[in-house]
Amino acid sequence: MDLEHSPAWGALTKLHAQHHHSTIAEHFALDPKRAARLSIQHDGLLFDYSKTGLTDSIKAGLIALADQQALDTQKNAMFSGAHINNSEDRAVMHVALRAPRDAAYHVDGRNISDDIHDTLDHMRRFCDTIHKGEWRGHNGQPIKTIVHIGIGGSDLGPYMVCDALKDFALNGMNIHFVSNVDGAALHNCLGQINPDETLFLIASKSFTTEETLKNAESAKAWFLKTTGAAHEAIAKHFAAMTVNVDAAVTFGIDADNIFGFGAYVGGRFSLWSSIGLPIALYLGFDHFTALLNGAHAMDQHFLHAPNHENLPVLLGLIGIWHRNFCTYESLAILPYAQNLTALPAYLQQMDMESNGKTVDRNGRDLPYATGPVIFGASGTNGQHAFYQLIHQSQTIIPCEFIAFKTALSPLQDHHDALLCHVLAQSRALMIGRKSEATAPEKHFSGNRPSTTLIVDALSPYHLGQILALYEHKIFVQGAIWGLNSYDQPGVELGKILAKEISGALPTIKNGQSATTSFDPSTQNMLDYLFKN
């Protein structure tokens, strides 16, 4: 039976019709214990979802929807190594990447845990040689700077983690990230570094990604020209995270400095794999291990906790309620931590690339909406950017606030003010404010839903928990919508067309007509940009 015609979906549609005129504030007035009932404390986290429109009957209906869609069965299939990425015929096993050494995770009858921990051991040894000063560059200088070259999931994850946890960085270690094919990105980076003490990390699963390879080749050319070193020096200043060992070796990278990962690792879920090498180099391997441990702890909670008190399940079901029954099209991710400035962009890619789809895993065109538009910013900066629309626009945008109990800085009064702001924002969204007739512009309608996740501290362990929480939230929603959340065909078309345009450039630059036929708009812009 199609989801939209199923009993659980129909029951939730009726519940929305019954309750959509009720306000969140009215729910609180009727139930003084609502906040305690609709919040969960778990392992240093407090998740409060009482400021949504959920009632006991709606929550029960959403859990019934999860049961109807066999969420537990689908979850167990992922953890057991089934090929849930059916379009690419692959298992999806990022959970295995952060499991302990004695765990057994199987793909196609083979325990992959041994391979994973062999790679982790390789990464630790490599990091130790850098951190202890045993690794020396071509002229004997120790490595003090890391330049990570990648794009998409190979860039956003490591960048976000390193930025979030920079207070844990090893003394004397610097890091830069280059992703955009825009030459300004690489040029600006190279102007800040000393090549003699720099290690370049090239992250590309296939070692064929256009943007990454162009940046890598330019970085290599710059290094050789600036240092005057022989080509053999590349081996002392470049390492790679890839499955294409031959291509990396051809580039000039020593085979001992190539770190692989399995086909079961998707790019936007890859920071737990060897793609996390820049994290381990910048923060130290023990902090990288703590990040993995936090994620594994959330994996176990997701796997074993009952749905009515399972954090990823509840967060995912709330999103289903908002997207499909309340028809809210967007979602704001609002971390009240300056060090999490990059988190909304990371979650944007993870969510929108996973669930931004119009066909299910069997190819059926879907009549219902799937992934929302994700955006956000760190508080309180976002308050002075787009909160005006969130509070007073006719467009209702659910918000997911993230706050931290413990300050990262010694400025406790600043942290107190920050926490006051995050609590005030969720309260203002709920209660609104009635204005005098003479000042209608000051009216706030309120009744705008939000959840709040309060975390004990922004540490490697707790960040691992947060990231795994959102990974599993996306799994929950994709499972219910019937999606394959682990392919990304929408990324490919633009790449194909870019190659067609690139192939036409020499002809156009010579003032001739391209042999490829483009639409008039594209042709007009090509002529303007490239014709002499």
Q: What is the mean pLDDT of the chain?
A: 96
In a domain, 477, yes or no: yes
CB 335 within 8 A of CB 402: yes
Examine the domain organization and report whether 355 and 334 are in the same domain.
Answer: yes
Examine the domain organization and report whether 342 and 409 are in the same domain.
Answer: yes
Say if residue 531's pLDDT is above 90: no
Q: Quickly state the pLDDT bin for 133 (edges 50, 70, 90).
A: very high
| Residues β-bridged to residue 41 | 46
Tell me, what's the pLDDT at 492? Answer: 85
How far is the CA of 378 from the CAs of 233, 382, 436, in angstroms? 42, 6, 32
Examine the domain organization and report whether 359 and 461 are in the same domain.
Answer: yes
Examine the domain organization and report whether 132 and 236 are in the same domain.
Answer: yes
d(CA 399, CA 331): 6
In a domain, 101, yes or no: no
Examine the domain organization and report whether 300 and 328 are in the same domain.
Answer: yes
Tell me, what's the pLDDT at 235? Answer: 96
How far is the CA of 68 from the CAs of 176, 366, 369, 421, in angstroms? 47, 18, 19, 40
Mean pLDDT, residues 347-372: 97
- Count the Cβ atoms, other than its own, within 10 Å of residue 505: 13
Can you give the CATH number for the domain in which 185 is found?
3.40.50.10490
Q: Quickly state the pLDDT bin for 435 (edges 50, 70, 90).
A: confident
One-letter identity of residue 152: G
d(CA 19, CA 340): 36
Q: Quickly state the pLDDT bin for 346 (edges 50, 70, 90).
A: very high
Residues forming the active site: 353, 384, 495
Characterize the bridge pairing of strands 399-404 and 450-455: parallel
Say if residue 515's pLDDT is above 80: no
Tell me, what's the pLDDT at 190? Answer: 97
Nearest-10 crossing angle of helices 285-304, 113-131: 150
Which tokens hold the place of 367? 């009549």
Tell me, what's the pLDDT at 427? Answer: 97
d(CA 29, CA 447): 13
Examine the domain organization and report whether 241 and 380 are in the same domain.
Answer: no
CA angle, corner 470, sides to 466 and 471, nearest 5? 115
One-letter identity of residue 187: H
Nearest Cα residue to 339 out of 275, 403, 289: 403
Say if residue 82's pLDDT is above 80: yes
State the alpha helices, DSSP H only, in 177-335.
183-190, 210-227, 234-237, 245-251, 277-283, 285-304, 311-320
Of 241-255, 432-446, 473-487, minimum mean pLDDT range = 432-446
Which tokens hold the place of 460? 């490697």
d(CA 400, CA 379): 12
In a domain, 77, yes or no: no
Question: pLDDT per residue over 296-330, tens digit each?
Answer: 999 999 999 999 999 999 999 999 999 999 999 99
Mean pLDDT, residues 428-442: 90
Tell me, what's the pLDDT at 513? Answer: 76
Q: Quickly state the pLDDT bin for 24 (edges 50, 70, 90).
A: very high
Q: Quickly state the pLDDT bin for 11 (edges 50, 70, 90).
A: very high
Examine the domain organization and report whether 254 and 270 are in the same domain.
Answer: yes
- The position carrying tokens 């004990």 is 456
* b/e sequence 363-375, b meaning 16+ C-beta within 10 Å: eeebeeebbbebb
d(CA 259, CA 250): 15
CB 279 within 8 A of CB 163: no
How far is the CA of 35 from the CAs of 65, 228, 445, 449, 454, in angstroms? 24, 66, 21, 14, 14
Of 10-14, 82-86, 211-215, 513-517, minimum mean pLDDT range = 513-517
What order do you get walking across the sheet with 258-259 strand by strand? Answer: 174-178, 145-149, 198-203, 238-241, 258-259
In a domain, 321, yes or no: yes
Q: Quickly state the pLDDT bin for 212 (edges 50, 70, 90).
A: very high
d(CA 39, CA 45): 10
Percent of the chain clearing pLDDT 70 (strictly above) = 100
Examine the domain organization and report whether 323 and 452 are in the same domain.
Answer: yes
d(CA 257, CA 416): 46
CB 401 within 8 A of CB 380: no
Examine the domain organization and report whether 328 and 437 are in the same domain.
Answer: yes
Task: Give the range of the structural domain holding residue 229, as residue numbers without chain letter.
Answer: 110-283
In a domain, 78, yes or no: no
In a domain, 203, yes or no: yes
How far is the CA of 250 from the CAs of 254, 255, 515, in angstroms? 9, 10, 34
Tell me, what's the pLDDT at 490? Answer: 87
Out of 380-389, 499-508, 515-524, the most confident range is 380-389
Tell me, what's the pLDDT at 483? Answer: 98
- Please list, in sequence order, all residues whose beta carbon lies within 8 angstroms of the beta carbon of residue 368, skipping any fewer than 6 positions away: 3, 4, 324, 481
d(CA 295, CA 40): 18
Tell me, what's the pLDDT at 276? Answer: 98
CB 337 within 8 A of CB 390: no
Question: pLDDT per residue over 57-71, tens digit each?
Answer: 999 999 999 999 999
Say if residue 438's pLDDT is above 90: no
Say what the pTM is: 0.96
Mean pLDDT, residues 90-101: 97
- Which helix (H) or strand (E) segment holds residue 147: the answer is strand 145-149
In a domain, 336, yes or no: yes
In a domain, 419, yes or no: yes
Domain count, the chain: 3
Characterize the bridge pairing of strands 174-178 and 145-149: parallel
Which tokens hold the place of 330? 């967007």
Examine the domain organization and report whether 43 and 179 are in the same domain.
Answer: no
Say if residue 13's pLDDT is above 90: yes
- Dihedral sign for Cα atoms in the order 159, 473, 372, 36: negative
Phi-psi group of 109: left, alpha or beta (phi > 0 → left; psi -120 to 50 → alpha; rest → beta): left
CB 332 within 8 A of CB 400: yes
Tell me, what's the pLDDT at 436? Answer: 81
Query: Last residue of some domain: 283, 307, 322?
Result: 283
Of 386-390, 408-412, 508-512, 513-517, minimum mean pLDDT range = 513-517
Examine the domain organization and report whether 134 and 179 are in the same domain.
Answer: yes
Query: Last residue of some domain: 239, 257, 283?
Result: 283
Percent of the chain clearing pLDDT 90 (strictly above) = 92
Examine the domain organization and report whether 271 and 242 are in the same domain.
Answer: yes
Q: Quickly state the pLDDT bin for 244 (edges 50, 70, 90).
A: very high
- Which helix (H) or strand (E) segment holds residue 464: the answer is helix 460-481
Question: pLDDT per residue over 143-161, tens digit each?
Answer: 999 999 999 989 999 999 9
Question: pLDDT per residue over 466-497, tens digit each?
Answer: 999 999 999 999 999 999 999 999 888 988 99
Query: Last residue of some domain: 244, 265, 283?
Result: 283
Nearest Cα residue to 267 out of 77, 85, 460: 85
